[in-house]
Structure 1
Amino acid sequence: MLSNLINRRVLREVLLFVFIGLVILTLIPFGSVTPFPFAFAAIAMFALAIISALIFGEPEQSRWVFSTALLVLVVVTGWTFVQTIDLPSDWLANPAWRAARDLAGVQYAAISVEPADTLASILWVALPFVTFLTGLLLCDNDQRARKLLVALGLSAGVIAVFGLLQFSMFPKILIVIEKHAYLDSLTAVFVNRNTAATFLGVGTLLMLTLVRDLSRSLSHYPAGEPGRNTLFVRSWIYILLLCACFTALMLSRSRAGIFATFVAALIYVPWLVVNWNGSTRRLKPSPKWRSVLKLLSAAGLVVVLPAVFAGQAILRAQERSLADDDRFCILPGIWRAISDHWLTGTGLGTFRTVFSAYRDPACGIFGIFDRAHNFYLEGFLGLGIVFPVAALLVFAVLARVFRRGLADRRRLRHYVLLGIAATVLVALHAAVDFSLQIPGFAVFFSAFLSAVVTISLGRSQKETDRQYS
Structure 2
Amino acid sequence: MLSNFINRQVLREVLLFAFIGLVILTLIPFGSVTPFPFAFAAIAMFGLAIISALIFGEPRQSRWVFSSALLVLVVVTGWTFVQTIDMPSDWPANPAWRAARELAGVQYAAISVEPADTLASILWIALPFVTFLTGLLLCDTDQRARKVLSALGLSAGAIAVFGLLQFSMFPKILIVIEKHAYLDSLTAVFVNRNTAATFLGLGTLLMLTLIRDITRALAKYPPDEPGRNMLLVRSWIYILLLCACFSALMLSRSRAGIFATFVAALIYFPWLVINWNGSTRHLRVAPRWRSMLKLFSAIGFVVVLLAVFAGQAILRAKERRLEDDQRFCMLPGIWRAISDHWLTGTGLGTFRTVFPAYRDPACGILGVFDRAHNFYLEGFLGLGIVFPIATLVVFGVLAVVFRRGLAQRRRLRHYVLLGVAATVLVALHAAVDFSLQIPGFAVFFAAFLSATVAISLGRSQAETDRQYA
Q: How does 1:245-264 map to 2 (within 5 A)?
A: 245-264=245-264
Counterparts of 2:5 and 2:301, CA distance in 1: 49
Q: Which residue identity does 1:344 align to in structure 2? A: T
1:296 corresponds to which residue?
A: 296
| Deviation of 1:462 (Å) | 11
Counterparts of 2:216 and 2:290, CA distance in 1: 19
- SS of alignment partner, residue 358 of structure 2: coil
- Deviation sequence 1:40-68 (CA, Å, 0-9, x none): 00000000000000000000000000000
With over 3 angstroms needed to count, the CA separation of the structure-2 counterparts of 1:459 and 1:429, relative to structure 1, is same
2:435 corresponds to which residue?
A: 435
Q: How does 1:371-390 map to 2 (within 5 A)?
A: 371-390=371-390
Asked if the contact 2:264–2:421 (Cα under 8 Å) also holds between the matched residues in 1, the reply is yes
Q: Which residue identity does 2:265 align to in structure 1? A: A
1:16 corresponds to which residue?
A: 16
1:151 corresponds to which residue?
A: 151
Gaps of at least 5 residues in structure 1 are none
Asked if the contact 1:408–1:460 (Cα under 8 Å) also holds between the matched residues in 2, the reply is no
Asked if the contact 1:142–1:468 (Cα under 8 Å) also holds between the matched residues in 2, the reply is no
The yes-or-no answer on 1:363 pairing with 2:363 is: yes
With over 3 angstroms needed to count, the CA separation of the structure-2 counterparts of 1:465 and 1:151, relative to structure 1, is closer
- SS of alignment partner, residue 191 of structure 1: coil
Runs of at least 4 residues off by over 3 Å: 3-6, 460-468
Q: Which residue identity does 1:358 align to in structure 2? A: Y
| Deviation of 1:457 (Å) | 0.0
2:201 corresponds to which residue?
A: 201
Number of residue equivalences: 468
- SS of alignment partner, residue 357 of structure 2: coil
Report which stretch shifted further, 311-320 or 183-192: 311-320
With over 3 angstroms needed to count, the CA separation of the structure-2 counterparts of 1:261 and 1:30, relative to structure 1, is same
Asked if the contact 2:430–2:436 (Cα under 8 Å) also holds between the matched residues in 1, the reply is yes
Q: How does 1:17-416 map to 2 (within 5 A)?
A: 17-416=17-416
Counterparts of 2:406 and 2:20, CA distance in 1: 27
Counterparts of 1:165 and 1:467, CA distance in 2: 36
- Deviation sequence 1:174-208 (CA, Å, 0-9, x none): 00000000000000000000000000000000000
Counterparts of 2:223 and 2:279, CA distance in 1: 22
Asked if the contact 1:408–1:461 (Cα under 8 Å) also holds between the matched residues in 2, the reply is no
Instruction: State the percentage of identical aligned residues.
Output: 88
1:423 corresponds to which residue?
A: 423
| Deviation of 1:459 (Å) | 2.0
Counterparts of 2:162 and 2:121, CA distance in 1: 31
Gaps of at least 5 residues in structure 2 are none
Counterparts of 2:280 and 2:65, CA distance in 1: 30
Asked if the contact 2:94–2:346 (Cα under 8 Å) also holds between the matched residues in 1, the reply is yes
Q: Which residue identity does 1:367 align to in structure 2? A: G
Q: Which residue identity does 1:369 align to in structure 2? A: F
Counterparts of 2:421 and 2:367, CA distance in 1: 35
Asked if the contact 1:45–1:130 (Cα under 8 Å) also holds between the matched residues in 2, the reply is yes
- Alignment RMSD (CA, Å): 1.6
With over 3 angstroms needed to count, the CA separation of the structure-2 counterparts of 1:20 and 1:463, relative to structure 1, is closer
Q: Which residue identity does 2:131 align to in structure 1? A: T
Q: Which residue identity does 1:317 align to in structure 2? A: A
Counterparts of 1:171 and 1:45, CA distance in 2: 33
Asked if the contact 2:141–2:460 (Cα under 8 Å) also holds between the matched residues in 1, the reply is no
Counterparts of 2:156 and 2:5, CA distance in 1: 33
